[in-house]
């Protein structure tokens, strides 16, 4: 059987991952959204999100990463690549790809925003980062991760909402629709076991509460 090439693009962030699969002619075979893929927080968790999503897409096409007649090429932009130890651990994990290219999620976002050319972007998602590619060199500001950096990002805003809610419970802050909604969330899941993605989800609660206020 003639071998073929399959190309996979993965954008992995702190709350979710986006996976796109194409054939050698550029035809879309499938795309899916999966769980978080921040290698600073969990290399194992990142690989799990990636494989879960890929299995879903490939199964729909009757394909498998174990097919010896297919060369799988993957390019990944993942959160957490600023930590060298996390990068090494991720790359040392056994995988089935013929070729693998890894960079930061900010780098691939900048390339995508400028059609593969140079430019500058500001990303405000689970975290926050400013990123620039100029004269072949990359520079960045912020993006060091939650909770010690990334002010203004989704996770940071969620944590601030949690703090205001605790202040209200202690009668140190005024009652509002926001704190009531956050408290309702806490009643089903205690905040001490919330992770970065769940704090980021508070963004939606904040938005709904602001619209009601």
pLDDT digits (tens, 9 = 90+) for 19-46: 999 999 999 999 999 999 999 989 999 9
- Decide if pLDDT at 212 tops 70: no
The pLDDT tens digits for 153-170 are 888 888 888 888 889 888
The predicted pLDDT at position 113 comes to 93
> What is the DSSP track for 70-110?
EEEEEEEEEBTTT-HHHHHHHHHS----SEEEEEEHHHHHH
Give the model confidence (pLDDT) of 6-18 as tens digits: 999 999 988 889 9
Q: Give pLDDT, residue 9.
A: 96
Q: What per-residue confidence (pLDDT) applies to 190?
A: 57
**Banded model confidence at residue 90, pLDDT cuts 50, 70, 90:** very high
Note the pLDDT of residue 70. Answer: 95
Confidence band, pLDDT 50/70/90 cuts, at residue 176: confident
- Tell me the average pLDDT of the chain: 87
Q: Please tell me the total number of residues recorded for the chain in this structure.
A: 213
The reported pLDDT for the residue numbered 183 is 82
């Amino acid at each position: 059987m003639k071998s073929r090439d399959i190309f996979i693009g993965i954008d992995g962030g702190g709350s979710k991952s986006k996976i796109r699969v194409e054939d050698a002619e550029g035809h879309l075979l499938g795309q899916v959204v999966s769980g978080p893929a921040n290698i600073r927080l969990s290399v194992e968790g990142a690989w799990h999100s990636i494989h879960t999503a890929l299995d879903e897409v490939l199964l729909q096409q009757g394909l498998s990463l174990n097919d010896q007649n297919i060369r799988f090429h993957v390019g990944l932009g993942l959160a957490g690549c600023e930590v060298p130890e996390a990068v090494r651990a991720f790359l040392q994990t056994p995988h089935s790809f013929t070729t693998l290219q890894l960079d930061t999620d900010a780098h691939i976002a900048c390339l995508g925003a400028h059609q593969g050319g140079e430019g500058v972007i500001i990303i405000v998602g689970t975290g926050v980062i400013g990123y620039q590619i100029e004269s072949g060199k990359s520079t960045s500001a912020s993006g060091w991760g939650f909770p010690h950096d990334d002010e203004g990002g989704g996770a940071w805003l969620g944590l601030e909402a949690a703090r205001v809610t605790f202040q209200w419970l202690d009668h140190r802050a005024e009652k509002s629709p926001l704190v009531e909604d956050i408290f309702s969330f806490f009643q089903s899941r205690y905040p001490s076991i919330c992770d970065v993605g769940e704090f980021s989800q508070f963004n939606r609660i904040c938005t709904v509460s602001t619209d009601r206020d």
